[in-house]
Structure 1
Amino acid sequence: MKGVVAFLLVLCYLAISDAWTCTEAPRLNNVQQIDAGHGKVVARDHYYAYFLAGSSWYRLSTLRLKHVSAGPAGIWAVASNSLVYKYIAGIFQHSRGLSMQQVDAGGDDQVVGVNTGLNAYCLRSASALAFSRPSSLSWNSLSRSMRYISCSPHNGCWGVDRSYRVYYAAVTPTTCRSSGWRYVSGISLRMIEAGTDGKVFGVTTAGKVVERSYISSRYPYGRSWVNIPVCLRMRHVSYDLGKLWVVSQSGFAMQCTH
């Protein structure tokens, strides 16, 4: 296995552009999803969630999960039974309410997610921060059908709809009210991640990694897409504190710096 990984890395070094340097991430087998936010990095294999400390991964729980996210609102996850959990004092505490398939804790203390009916919802920042024991959560509809959603404290929320189209909206963390969704043309994505600092990356339906460029106060939704030429077909991407984390379709994880 190590020989295969080394061979893949050689290919990647040849294929990556000069602007990015990628190396193998700390070894974790069969990575399905990774999320970096607010200085934390979490990942999930086929069953469990792990937390990165130094160069080692530590399993957070024996709870079987289908999505995990880290950010200013803490570490949140969705279990295989679609219940939403928050990681508190070493334990995943479950909530009652909507059944979800994906959540994101990367916003300005609010949590957003996509329910099992592929509709986007938001949990107000006060509710997200106060949640500490099993209880009900009241989610607010974001009035948009989505298959994936992610928010940043500095750059609103980004989502991918049922048809793999990209949308952007400013969402107020305290009320979960949105400015209305704006269609961002030019590409079809399977997932998208907004970093804590406002940078936005995604994975196309063909498995390519892209970045949204020219994001500013004048153009909060950016102006164009830039391809990041990685050699493998990717399934997931995340970004935080200058590091881009990418996961291949085969479950191989890399970390890249600009």
Structure 2
Amino acid sequence: MRCRTAAPLRYYFNAAESHKLRDNMKAVVAFLLVLCSLAVSLAHTRWNCREGPRLYGAMQIDAGMGKVVVADKYKRTYFLSGVALYRLGRMGMKHVSVGAGGVWGSSNANKVYKYVAGDFSLAKGLSMYQVDAGGDGQIVGVGSGSYNTYCLKEKTALDYCGRGTLSWSYLSRKMMYYSCGSKWGCWGVDKRYRIWVTKNISPTNCRTSGWTAVSGPRMKMIEVSSDGKVFGVTTTGKIYQRAGITNRCRQGTRWLYVPMCMPVRHVSYDLCNLWIVTTSGLIMKCSH
């Protein structure tokens, strides 16, 4: 006598049920963000946080010159207009950056691209794990594999239109993440999650000086705004702001904890707004 095994259970949803499920998930996410916003506002009155533009699966965000760009887990890039995000070009980027030097990105294959005439154009030359356009016209990046840092001169970056091969200047420092501001130098995090700052970088020739180690929590990324504010995310997903930065004291004096009710993946700051991507892929906007 043969025994028949029971057929595996299958669940089928019609279109209406599928939309209802998505709506319910969005409602839950919105509710959690409201609770998070209240918790952050009560914990630290300087910051008023709320839900940002909806893009489920956000991975990285960058703000500069009044613009905001985002990359998601599918390597799609977006720009913010009003309260909505719109696709930015057809090429996929795992990391995208905007600033005085334009919009630049690094693909999943670590190829460097510049946004030219409505789409990303391959910038032939070195491969980069991460690029940053937040400096005073120059572009900096972290080389794939080697973790060496490089700089693209201001004129070269601004003039590049997708033709020819770019020549990058070596910055004699290994980093895992690197970011520049147009006011008070560049900051980086090395492979041991230690923090570094260079007091000066020239946009015309990419020369740097005054590398200084900065004590503090173990950081996985750090960002510098155009007005010199510095925010970092620790390896455990916590946000800190560097305080006491002046022209005479580029490294600042202390770290200020910015409380969040969810662990954070990425941050960026521009024009009084702190943009946050949580590890769950949600975007939050905080102001003060």
* C-alpha displacement of 1:32: 0.2
- Residue aligning to 1:72: 100
The letter for the 2-side match of 1:19 is R
The letter for the 2-side match of 1:7 is F
| Structure possessing the higher radius of gyration over alpha carbons | 2
Q: Is the 8 A contact 2:36 2:260 kept in 1?
A: yes
TM-score (norm 2): 0.88
Q: Which has the higher contact order (CA 8 A, sep 6+)?
A: 1
Mapped to 1, the partners of 2:48 and 2:120 lie a distance apart of 35
* C-alpha displacement of 1:56: 1.2
Aligned residues: 258
Structure with more of its chain in helix, by fraction: 2
- Residue aligning to 2:27: 3
Mapped to 1, the partners of 2:175 and 2:268 lie a distance apart of 18
Task: Note the aligned Cα RMSD (angstroms).
Answer: 1.0
* C-alpha displacement of 1:72: 0.6
* C-alpha displacement of 1:180: 3.5
Mapped to 1, the partners of 2:83 and 2:39 lie a distance apart of 25
1:15 aligns with 2:28: no
Q: Is the 8 A contact 1:164 1:188 kept in 2?
A: yes
- Residue aligning to 2:89: 61
1:119 corresponds, among 148, 164, 176, to: 148
Moved more, 244-253 or 61-70: 61-70
Q: What secondary structure is seen at the aligned counterpart in 1 of 2:208?
A: coil
In structure 1, list runs of 5 or more residues that go unmatched: none
Mapped to 2, the partners of 1:119 and 1:249 lie a distance apart of 27
After superposition, the C-alpha distances for 1:160-217 in whole angstroms (9 at most, x for unaligned) are: 0010000000211111111132101122100000001110001011100110001111
TM-score (norm 1): 0.98
1:189 aligns with 2:189: no
1:109 aligns with 2:137: yes
- Residue aligning to 1:85: 113
Identity over the aligned pairs, expressed in percent? 52
- Residue aligning to 1:142: 171
Mapped to 2, the partners of 1:238 and 1:8 lie a distance apart of 22
In structure 2, list runs of 5 or more residues that go unmatched: 1-24
Mapped to 2, the partners of 1:227 and 1:42 lie a distance apart of 25
- Residue aligning to 2:193: 164
1:42 corresponds, among 64, 69, 73, to: 69
Mapped to 1, the partners of 2:130 and 2:26 lie a distance apart of 32
* C-alpha displacement of 1:79: 1.2
